[in-house]
């Protein structure tokens, strides 16, 4: 079994970027696109768990306001970014535009949604301050467009 993300040479990429990691066609003709939303540089930087966790909570809503068809967005175990799956054949350009707009909303955020023990599996582990700082950092990097893979 070939795993797409294990084939990517993590020593050659430059974060941040939005990479179309796969396009899948279902039996009934539907398409699903998978994206690698890389926020920080692999093996040099990691987002603290409270930062990536709060970004997950905030972006879950903000990204869905910017682009239709999102199935899931989940943090990478290495804490350098997120995977996102979405219905349809979606371009990197459209996904990047949506992410930049969503990160701008994170920067303006004053509270984190769904942070009670009932709504979240680790509600004590959040940092709005840290999420905002990473949103500024990543958003600025994406706007400059210096990332590559």
33 contacts 88 by C-beta, under 8 angstroms:
yes
Residue nearest to Zn ion (CB): 120
Return the C-alpha torsion angle 55, 60, 66, 68, nearest 10. Answer: 150
Query: Which tokens hold the place of 2?
Result: 């070939």
For residue 140, what are its two tokens?
């600025």
Find out whether 135 and 106 touch, Cβ atoms under 8 Å.
yes
107 or 120: whose CB is closer to Zn ion? 120
Q: Which is nearer to Zn ion, 58 or 99 (by Cβ)?
A: 58
Residues interacting with Zn ion, by CB under 5 A? 120
For residue 113, the minimal CB distance to Zn ion (Å) is 10
Q: Write down the least CB distance from residue 109 to Zn ion, Å.
A: 15
| Residue closer to Zn ion (CB basis): 13 or 120 | 120
Q: Which residues pair with 87 in a beta bridge?
A: 32
Identify which of residues 56 and 104 has a Cβ nearer to Zn ion in the complex: 56
CB of 50 to Zn ion, least distance (A): 10
Confirm if 96 and 36 have CB atoms less than 8 A apart: no
Q: Could you tell me the sign of the dihedral formed by the alpha carbons of 142, 104, 42, 70, in that order?
A: negative
Q: C-beta of 87: minimal distance to Zn ion in Å?
A: 24
């Amino acid at each position: 079994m070939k795993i797409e993300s294990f084939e990517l040479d993590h020593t050659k990429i430059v974060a941040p970027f939005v990479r179309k990691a796969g396009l899948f066609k279902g039996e009934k003709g539907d398409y699903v696109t998978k994206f690698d939303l890389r926020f920080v540089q692999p093996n040099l930087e990691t987002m603290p768990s409270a930062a990536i966790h709060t970004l997950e909570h905030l972006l879950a809503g903000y990204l869905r306001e910017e682009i239709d068809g999102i199935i899931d967005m989940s943090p990478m175990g290495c804490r350098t970014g997120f995977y996102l799956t979405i219905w349809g054949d979606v371009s990197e350009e459209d996904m990047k535009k949506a992410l930049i707009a969503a990160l701008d909303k994170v920067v303006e955020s004053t509270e984190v949604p769904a942070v009670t023990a009932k709504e979240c599996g680790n509600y004590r582990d959040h940092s709005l301050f840290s999420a905002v700082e990473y949103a500024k950092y990543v958003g600025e990097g994406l706007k400059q467009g210096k990332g590559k893979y």
